[in-house]
Structure 1
Amino acid sequence: MQRRAFLQLATGLVASSVLAGYASPLWAGTKEQIGEAKRFRASRRYMQTSFGRIAYVERGSGEAALFLHGFPLNSFQWRGALERLSPYRRCIAPDFLGLGYTEVAPGQSVAPDAQVAMLIALLDALGVGRVDVVGSDSGGAVAQLFITKHPERVRSLLLTNCDTEHESPPAAMKPVIALSHEGKFVDTWLAPWLANKTLARSPQGIGGMCFADPTDPTDEAIDCYFTPLVSSPHRKALVHAYAIALENNPLAGIGAALRQSRVPTRIVWGIDDTIFSFAGAEYLDRTMGRSLGIRRVPNAKLFYPEERPDLIAEEARKLWKTV
C-alpha cells in the first residue's frame, strides 16, 4: 500500500460517517479457529518485571526460541508456528510493550531499545540463556537490535519482512506516525476495523494491506489484536507512543554491527509486500555477517507468517539444524 493510499484511507475514515452503516456479515469462524483462539487465551501467562506485567505464551521444552511479532499485532500472530515448532523448541512469544495484553509500568518507554531490555528481563525471569530469534515487521527491527546488543544470547536469527537500516520506518508508516502524534491513529483505523470486520479485511483495511488471503485476518484474530488497544485512553496512548518511537530510525548506523555478527541468519521474504521493499531482504543478505541467504515467498504480503506457518516451521527447523 503506497503512502498516498494510506493517506486517502485515513482521510476517508475521518470524514465518513457511513461506517456505522457499513454492512458486516456475521463470521462465526470454524470450530477449529474458535477453539484455537480460546486455547491461546487460556495459555497466556504473565511475568512481573520492572517494565510491567509482560504477557507471553510458552509451549514446548528444551532449547528456547523467541518469537517477535509485528505492529499492531501481538503474539497471536505466531500461533501456527508455535504449534508446529513446540516439539523442537521451548517456544516463547511475548507481547511487546504497548501492544497486545502486556501491562506497561507507569512511565515506561515503549521504544525499540526498551523492548530489547524488556526481552532480556523476561528471558532472565524465565531462566532462559540463549535463544533462536524469529522476527517480523517491527519485531524484526527489535530482533536486529537484540542480536547486536546481546549477541551472546542468540543462537540463530530468522527474519521475515521487516524494517532495515535504510527502510525504517517504511514510507507506509509515516501517516500512521502522523496520526499518532495527533492522538488519532487508534480511533481512525483500529477502532473502525474492530467494529467492522468486513472493512478490516477489505483492500482499505489491514487485510488488503498486509494479508494475501482475502478472508484474513479472521474475526477472532481482529478481536485478539485490537480489543486491548482500544480499551482505554491509556492503551491508545501507548499504541501511539509505539508508533512515534519508530519515527527516528531505530536502526540508523546498525550496519557495522550486523556485519560483525556471527549469528546464522536466514531471510524469508514475502515478495508481494507493499510495505517493505525486497531491497530490504537484499540489504540484510549482503550485510549480515553470516547470512544463509534469502527465500522468496510468492503470493505473500507482510503478515504472511500468520497465513503460512508451515513455511515458517520448515525454515526454522532447517536453520536450527545449522547451530
Structure 2
Amino acid sequence: MKRRDFLQLAGAAVAACGAHAAEAPTEVERYRQARRFADLPFGRIAYVERGTGGAALFLHGAPLNGFQWRGALDRLSPYRRCIAPDFMGLGYSQIPERQSVAPAAQVAMLGALLDALHVDRADIVASDSGGAVAQLFLARYPGRVRTMLLTDCDTEPNSPPPMIKPVLDMANAGTLADDTAKWLTDKNLARSTFGAAVYHDPAILTDDVIAYYVSPMVSTPLRRKQYHDFHKALAPNPLAGIEATLRRSMVPVRMVWGSKDTIFPVADAAYLDRIFPRSLGVRQVPEGKLFFQEEFPDVIAEEALRLWRAS
C-alpha cells in the first residue's frame, strides 16, 4: 500500500472513531433508555434493572430518583439483579392524584413491585429518606430482606432531621416546586446551593443530570403537588416506635456514612450499629456528604459485596 493511501485510510478511521465518540450516548441518555415501567395498583412505577441472579433493591433519596445509583448498578450488576425504582412523588413514576406518597405507602408499593418482578427476597441498599423506607420495609416484610446496606439516612431519633425543616416548610407552603424549578434555568444555582450542601464536589451535577432529576417533579401541577406531598409526609416522624422491631431483626446490616454529612451525622450510623443485633459495623467516607453514593460508587460496591459475601 502506498504511503498516501495508508494515510488516507488512517485519517478516515480516526474521523470515524471521532464521529462514533461524538454520538455515544451520555450517562443520562443511557439510563433513560434503560428505564422501564411496572403497572401496579399504585400507578406506573419507573425502574431500571440490570444483571441477573439474586435481587438487590436500591432506594434513592430526595429530591433524586433511581439515577442516584447508576454507578453502583454498573459495578454490582455482575453479582446481583439490581433494581432501582423511582419513589412515588419523585422521579419518573406516574401515579394517580389520590395515591398516597407517604413512607408506608412507598413500602407497600415496593412489595407490589417485587411481586410483579417475581422477587421473593432482596438485598436492600438505601440512602436518605430511602433509608427510612428501607427500615419500614424490613419491619413490615422481614422475610423479604436478605441484607441491608444503609447510607446516610433517617433514624428514629433523627427523622425528619432538623436541617430539612426549611424544605418541609416550603412544601407545606406550596413553594418548594417553584424553588426547585429555578434549578432548570440556573444550573449554577443548583450546584452552589443544593449541590454544595450534599456533595463533596457539586460539579457532579452536570446540566443534564440536574434536568434529569428536576424535570419530572415540576412538569405539571399534579407532579408539583405530589412532590410537595412527598415531603409533607416526612413529618411527623414515620419511624416513631420502630426501634423495638429493629432490635429483634436478624438481618445482617452494614452502615456506610459520609463523615462530612451535617444532615445525618455519623452519630446516626453509630445508633444503627448499636440497635441492629447483626450489625457488621460502620465505614466512614472521609469526604462524603449526604449523597456521596454518586461520587464514590466504588465504596458502595465494595461494601455491598463485603456484606453479601459475609451473609
Question: TM-score with structure 2 length normalisation?
Answer: 0.91
Matching residue within 90, 93, 112 for 2:103? 112
Q: What is the aligned-residue RMSD (CA, Å)?
A: 1.3
Q: Which residue of 2 aligns with 1:55?
A: 46
Supply the distance in 1 between the matched residues of 2:22 and 2:220 (Cα, whole angstroms).
31
Question: Please, which moves more after superposition, 31-40 or 44-53?
Answer: 31-40
Which string of whole-angstrom CA distances, capped at 9 and with x for unpartnered residues, describes residues 246-288 of structure 1? 0100001110001000000000000101211221111100011
Q: Which residue of 1 aligns with 2:272?
A: 284
Matching residue within 62, 70, 73 for 2:61? 70
Partner amino acid for 1:193?
Answer: W
CA offset at residue 34 of structure 1?
5.5
Return structure 1 stretches of 4+ with deviation > 2 angstroms.
30-34
Correspondences of 1:101-250 after superposition (within 5 Å): 101-188=92-179, 190-202=180-192, 205-250=193-238
Distance 1:138 1:181, change over 3 A: same
Question: Please, which moves more after superposition, 272-281 or 111-120?
Answer: 272-281
- Asked if the contact 1:34/1:220 (under 8 Å) is kept, the reply is no
SS at match of 2:310: coil
SS at match of 1:280: helix
SS at match of 1:121: helix
Supply the distance in 1 between the matched residues of 2:114 and 2:48 (Cα, whole angstroms).
13
Identity in percent: 59
CA offset at residue 223 of structure 1?
0.8
SS at match of 1:227: helix
CA offset at residue 71 of structure 1?
0.3
Matching residue within 78, 83, 108 for 1:92? 83
- Asked if the contact 1:97/1:104 (under 8 Å) is kept, the reply is yes
Is there any run of 5+ residues in structure 2 with no aligned partner, and where? 1-20
Supply the distance in 1 between the matched residues of 2:138 and 2:24 (Cα, whole angstroms).
34
SS at match of 1:79: helix
- Asked if the contact 1:75/1:94 (under 8 Å) is kept, the reply is yes
SS at match of 2:203: coil
- Asked if the contact 2:58/2:124 (under 8 Å) is kept, the reply is yes
- Asked if the contact 1:59/1:90 (under 8 Å) is kept, the reply is yes
Supply the distance in 1 between the matched residues of 2:168 and 2:26 (Cα, whole angstroms).
35
Q: Give the helix-richer structure, 1 or 2.
A: 2
Supply the distance in 2 between the matched residues of 1:314 and 1:59 (Cα, whole angstroms).
18
Matching residue within 74, 86, 93 for 1:83? 74
Question: TM-score with structure 1 length normalisation?
Answer: 0.88
Which string of whole-angstrom CA distances, capped at 9 and with x for unpartnered residues, describes residues 2-56 of structure 1? xxxxxxxxxxxxxxxxxxxxxxxxxxxx979952111100000000000000000
Supply the distance in 1 between the matched residues of 2:96 and 2:250 (Cα, whole angstroms).
34
CA offset at residue 289 of structure 1?
2.0
Distance 1:32 1:152, change over 3 A: farther
Supply the distance in 1 between the matched residues of 2:22 and 2:237 (Cα, whole angstroms).
43
Partner amino acid for 1:243?
Answer: H
Supply the distance in 2 between the matched residues of 1:195 and 1:165 (Cα, whole angstroms).
37
Asked whether 1:254 is paired with 2:245, we answer no
Supply the distance in 2 between the matched residues of 1:121 and 1:47 (Cα, whole angstroms).
10
Partner amino acid for 1:53?
Answer: R
Supply the distance in 1 between the matched residues of 2:23 and 2:263 (Cα, whole angstroms).
31
Supply the distance in 1 between the matched residues of 2:299 and 2:225 (Cα, whole angstroms).
35
Question: Please, which moves more after superposition, 218-227 or 92-101?
Answer: 218-227
CA offset at residue 106 of structure 1?
3.1
